[in-house]
């Protein structure tokens, strides 16, 4: 599996218009061609961003799907005038991900992106593999992914929380009990965090 993370920078005060257009466009059949994993807008961190995540079996399927959806009258959605910038990244899933996770896992979703030293990603996977089951008991683990194309040595993970208070409680509890960060793992070179809320049409809500 691969996951395409598409991040769009919207002009300020256009989020409502963007949501309206996407609601109509997605209803035109795009998710019938290949499934949508999640669709979010930023609430904390860099604002006015829309993040949509699409899984594919491989790069060949991604290209085939993109050719197929171009035949739809409703896709791509007519949002070009609302976009200040676009970025796409291809991620590979961690071996311990639950690929079937969906539904109500939020409504707050924290996306954390770490950059590691060259060669550290396998060590991260090893450390997380032994610690993730205990961490998942505290809050929904949506998934972790790593880059093999584009900017390398990136590790991105997504967590669901029912409230900001729950996020603080869970993080404090995990640190105090020594559950998290995953013991024995390498220290990242850089870290970034954003909080997202789901659009009404997001499978993860």
Domain region containing 29: 2-198
Structural domain includes residue 52: yes
Structural domain includes residue 204: no
Structural domain includes residue 203: no
The per-residue pLDDT for 149 is: 84
The per-residue pLDDT for 201 is: 98
Distance CA 34, CA 48 (A): 26
Structural domain includes residue 106: yes
The per-residue pLDDT for 62 is: 97
- In three-state form (DSSP H/G/I as H, E/B as E, the rest C), the secondary structure along the chain is CEEEEEEEEECCCCHHHHHHHHHHHHCCCHHHHCCCCEEEEEEECCCCEEEEEEEECCHHHHHHHHHHHCCCCCCCCCCHHHEEEEEEEEEEECCCCCCCCCECCCCEEEEEEEECCCCCHHHHHHHHHHHHHHHHCCCCEEEEEEECCCCCCEEEEEEEECCHHHHHHHHHHHHHCCCCCCCCCCCCCEEEEEEEEECCCCCEC
Burial code (b: 16+ CB inside 10 Å, e: under 16) for 37-74 equals bbbbbbeeeeebbbbbbbbbeeeeebeebbeebeeeee
- Give the chain's domain count: 1
Structural domain includes residue 36: yes
Task: Report the mean per-residue pLDDT for the chain.
Answer: 97
Structural domain includes residue 64: yes
pTM of the predicted model over 0.85: yes
Structural domain includes residue 107: yes
Q: What is the CATH number of the domain that holds 43?
A: 3.30.70.100
Structural domain includes residue 17: yes
The per-residue pLDDT for 148 is: 86
Reported as a pLDDT band with limits 50, 70 and 90, residue 168 is very high
The per-residue pLDDT for 20 is: 98
pLDDT digits (tens, 9 = 90+) for 88-101: 999 999 999 999 99
How many CA atoms lie within 13 Å of 81's alpha carbon, on the beta-carbon side? Answer: 3
Residue 128 above 90 pLDDT?
Answer: yes
Reported as a pLDDT band with limits 50, 70 and 90, residue 110 is very high
Residue 34 above 90 pLDDT?
Answer: yes
Reported as a pLDDT band with limits 50, 70 and 90, residue 87 is very high
The per-residue pLDDT for 24 is: 97
**Residue 40: phi, psi to the nearest 5?**
-135, 165
Residue 141 above 90 pLDDT?
Answer: yes
The per-residue pLDDT for 19 is: 98
The per-residue pLDDT for 199 is: 98
180-184 mean pLDDT: 96
The per-residue pLDDT for 150 is: 87
Distance CA 115, CA 117 (A): 7
The per-residue pLDDT for 169 is: 98
């Amino acid at each position: 599996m691969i996951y395409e993370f598409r991040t769009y920078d919207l002009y300020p005060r256009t989020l409502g218009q963007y949501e309206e257009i996407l609601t109509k466009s997605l209803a035109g059949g795009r998710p019938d061609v290949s499934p949508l994993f999640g669709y979010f807008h930023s609430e904390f961190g860099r604002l006015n961003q829309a993040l949509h995540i699409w899984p594919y079996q491989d790069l060949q399927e991604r290209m085939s799907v993109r050719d197929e959806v171009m035949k739809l009258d409703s896709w791509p959605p007519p949002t070009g005038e609302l976009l200040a910038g676009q970025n796409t990244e291809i991620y590979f899933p961690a071996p311990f991900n639950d690929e079937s996770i969906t539904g109500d896992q939020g409504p707050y979703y924290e996306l954390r992106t770490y950059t590691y030293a060259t060669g550290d990603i396998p060590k991260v996977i090893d450390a997380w593999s032994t610690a993730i089951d205990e961490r998942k008991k505290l809050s929904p683990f949506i998934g972790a992914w790593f880059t093999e194309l584009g900017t390398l040595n990136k590790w991105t993970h997504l967590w669901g929380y029912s409230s900001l208070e729950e996020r603080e409680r869970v993080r404090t509890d995990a640190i105090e009990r020594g559950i998290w960060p995953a013991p024995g793992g390498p220290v990242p070179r850089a870290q970034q965090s954003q909080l997202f809320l789901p659009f009404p049409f997001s499978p993860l809500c």
